[in-house]
Chain A
Amino acid sequence: MTTRIVELRRGILKKNDELAAGLRSRFSAAGVLVLNLVSSPGTGKTTFLEWTLRKLREAGARAAALVGDLETDNDARRLAASGAPVRQINTHGICHLDAEMVGKHLESWGETAGADGMALAALDYLFIENVGNLVCPSSYDLGERIRVALLSVTEGEDKPLKYPTLFNSADTAVITKIDLAEPCAFDRELALRNLNEIRPGIRVFETSAKTGAGMEKWLGYLQAERTQAS
């Protein structure tokens, strides 16, 4: 017997990365700004997104959402109340979305408007709400332009230190439920410092979808990014 060593230098998630790159060029060609929203379960991603979709639509923008959960279409039904087109992805036990799942759900959308209005070219914004998990989604590129990590004031200021992998991979952070900051004795300065230690220079929005605090700034950011994208 002879032993042979074969150098591969191959990315383990190469397939996902290639699919994601393909999606990214499709999104870019269609002029749609795509965001991947990641957080722990219970941070308030759905409420935050519900508000965002509603306001964007009120402002005349065309926004849609793909929402990932292990099971149930509860979130899709909640988000659909905003009037935006929403599709649910059930991963059935898988703890993250990947580019293949996103691609499959986009297949039926086509590049131009279909009967259900779900066409990439007919959109300004597409939000992908990932499965609630702060570990696994960090490794899977979905072809998004902006990865948003959300954390709520009820989760504690050290969340970025506990999940550095995810926060370091994020482009933007959103602190949710700031209306609860006081009863939770949330240390704002510490949270901002922790975010900056893990992802130096990260842009942070402090928001409450309940009171609307900080949400206008967030919308302004989306609109500016959207203009850049097209």
Chain B
Amino acid sequence: MHELSIAASIVDAVTESAAAYPGARVTAVRLRVGALAAVVEDSLQFCWEITTEGTPLTGAKLVVRMMPVVIHCAGCGVDAELEGVQSFRCPRCGELAADLGQGRELEIESIELEEPDGPSEPASERVSGLAG
């Protein structure tokens, strides 16, 4: 169960990115998770709650978009979406395909912030100053 490590990595990454928007509260975090990313959504949601508790991310929603595997079939020359991860055959011609176009993603797509009125531009200078 490495979802706890994954959740902790998300918290770190989001905290870092959100620091560019002082005063803003993170309300949602959107992820893209490939079918081959070895992540179980229920387990990740559970770990997300635990990991964010008592942090500025408390209450932020974790929205997970699961991405199917897409193979590139050398025979057909096309990209094809697979239904599962039990066989890596082209659904059109039945040939095995080793070339994956999608399916391993483990990515933060975007974050949703709620800002006090009169949104400020990213305070990039200030952030790098803090980081240094």
Contacts and interface: CB of A to CB of B under 8 A. Distances in A.
B96 interface: yes
What 4 pairs between A and B have smallest CB-CB spacing?
A200-B96, A136-B2, A200-B98, A165-B38
Overall SS of chain A's interface: mixed
Interface of A: 1-16, 94-96, 98, 135-136, 138-140, 161, 164-166, 168-169, 196-201
A12 B110 contact: no
B9 A8 contact: no
Interface of B: 1-2, 5-6, 9-10, 12-13, 17-18, 21, 24, 27, 31, 36-39, 85-89, 96-98, 100, 104, 106-117, 119
Interface centre among B24, B38, B111 (most CB of A within 10 A): B38
Please report whether the interface of chain B is mostly helix, strand, loop or mixed according to DSSP: mixed
Contacts of B115: 1-4
A28 to B, nearest CB: 23
Given A5-B112, A6-B21, 13 more contacts: A4-B24, A4-B112, A4-B114, A7-B110, A9-B107, A10-B13, A13-B9, A96-B2, A135-B1, A139-B2, A139-B39, A197-B88, A198-B85
B108 A138 contact: no
A197 B110 contact: no
22 contacts: A1-B114, A1-B115, A2-B116, A6-B21, A6-B111, A7-B109, A9-B109, A12-B13, A94-B2, A95-B1, A135-B2, A138-B38, A139-B37, A165-B38, A168-B85, A168-B88, A169-B36, A197-B86, A197-B87, A197-B88, A198-B88, A201-B98
A126 to B, nearest CB: 23
Contacts of A11: 106-108
A12 B2 contact: no
Contacts of B97: 200
Contacts of A7: 109-110
Contacts of B89: 197
Contact of A201 (B31, B96, B110): B96
A199 B98 CA distance: 6
